[in-house]
Amino acid sequence: MVSTLQPNTIVRDAVDKEYAKIVEDCFGLWSNSLWGLPVSLDKFSDLKEAYFYLIERLLDDGIVRFVHPDEVENIMFVASRPPPIKTIQDTSTHWRADTNYILSFLKSHWPQRATHKDDLELNTYFYEIPPIIWHRHGGEWIGS
Buried-state track 109-128, b at ≥16 Cβ within 10 A, e below 16: eeeeebeeeeeeebeebbee
CA distance 125 to 87: 23
User: Does 144 score more than 90 pLDDT?
Assistant: no
Picking from 102, 20, 116, the residue whose alpha carbon sits closest to that of residue 56 is: 102
Domain ranges of the chain: 9-142
Whether the predicted pLDDT of 7 surpasses 70: no
Given a cut of 60, whether residue 67 has pLDDT beyond it is yes
Q: How many CB atoms lie within 10 A of CB 19?
A: 18
Looking at residue 6, what is its pLDDT?
56
Instruction: Give the pTM.
Output: 0.91
Mean pLDDT (whole number) for 8-29:
95
CATH number attached to the domain at 9-142: 1.10.3510.10
How confident is residue 3, by pLDDT bands cut at 50, 70 and 90? low
Quote the mean pLDDT of the chain: 93
Q: Residue 93: which residues within 8 A CB-CB, separation 6 or more? A: 67, 68, 71, 74, 75, 86, 87
Mean pLDDT of 13-32: 96
Question: What are 71-113's pLDDT values in tens digits?
Answer: 999 998 888 888 999 999 999 999 999 999 999 999 999 999 9
